[in-house]
Amino acid sequence: MVHKMISDRDDASDLVQEVFVNLYQSIEKEVVIEHPRSWLYKVSIHKCIDFTKKRQKHENIELFSQLKDEDNPLDNNEKKAVVRLALNRLTNDESMLAILYSEGLSYKEIAEITGIRFTSVGKTLSRTLTKLGNELKKLKYELY
C-alpha cells in the first residue's frame, strides 16, 4: 500500500519501518489499539501524505520526464508514471481512498481508516473512481 503512494521503494521501506517503530512505541506506552490492521493503514497513510507533501512537485517533474513519446503506446514504466501522475492530481483524501479500495478493504475498514461516514463511503468512492478514471484517460492511459 505504501509503495502505491511512494514511488521510490527505499523511501517506502523506510516509511513502513517508521510505522512499525510507532506501533512498538505505542505498545510500550500501553496504548490500546483496538483494530491493529486499521491502525497500521491509518498511520501509514498519514506518513505517506506527510512525505508526499514535501516532494510532490519534484516527483511530478520526474514522472513527466519518464513519458517519452505521447504517440506511441505506453511501456510498463510509463504506465506506472501515468498512474502516479493521475493519483497526484487527486486530493490526498481521494488518492488515499482509491488506494485503500485497491487493497480490497471493506467499506467498514475504509470508514475506520479515513474517517468518512460509513453510509457515505459508496458515494465518495464512486466519485473518486470516476475522477481517477477521467484523469487516467486524459493522460492517454487505456482503461478499457
Partner 1 sequence: MNCIDEQLLQKYIDGECTELEITEVKQHLSVCPACTRRLAEGEKLSAEIKRALNFLTIDEIEIPAFRNIKTRSVNRNINLIIYSLSAACILLFVLFIVDNEIMPNQNEITIVQSIPLEVDANRPASDQDFVIEIYDGKGQRSEYFVK
Give residue 18's identity as a one-letter amino acid code. E
Asked if 107 touches partner 1 (CB under 8 A), the answer is yes
30 Rama class: left (phi>0) / alpha (psi -120 to 50) / beta = left
Are 84 and 63 in contact, with CB atoms under 8 Å apart?
yes
Asked if 129 touches partner 1 (CB under 8 A), the answer is yes
Alpha helix positions (H), the chain = 2-5, 9-28, 36-66, 76-88, 92-102, 107-114, 121-138
Q: Of the ranges 25-33, 47-55, 63-71, 74-82, which one interacts with partner 1 (CB under 8 A)?
A: 74-82
Asked if 68 touches partner 1 (CB under 8 A), the answer is no
Q: Which is nearer to partner 1, 32 or 143 (CB)?
A: 143
Asked if 125 touches partner 1 (CB under 8 A), the answer is yes
Q: Which is nearer to partner 1, 40 or 136 (CB)?
A: 136
| 120 DSSP assignment | G
Minimum Å distance from CB 118 to partner 1? 10
Nine cell digits for residue 41: 493503514
Residue of 106, 117, 138, 140 interacting with partner 1 (CB under 8 A)? 106
Q: Which is nearer to partner 1, 40 or 99 (CB)?
A: 99
Distance, in Å, from the CA atom of 122 to the CA atom of 85, rounded to the nearest integer, reads 24
Ranges within 4-63 binding partner 1 (CB under 8 A): 4, 7
Give residue 68's identity as a one-letter amino acid code. K
Give residue 62's identity as a one-letter amino acid code. E
Task: Give the footprint of partner 1 on this chain (CB under 8 A).
Answer: 3-4, 7, 76-77, 79-80, 83-84, 87, 98-99, 101-102, 104, 106-107, 120, 122-123, 125-127, 129-130, 132-133, 136, 141, 143-144
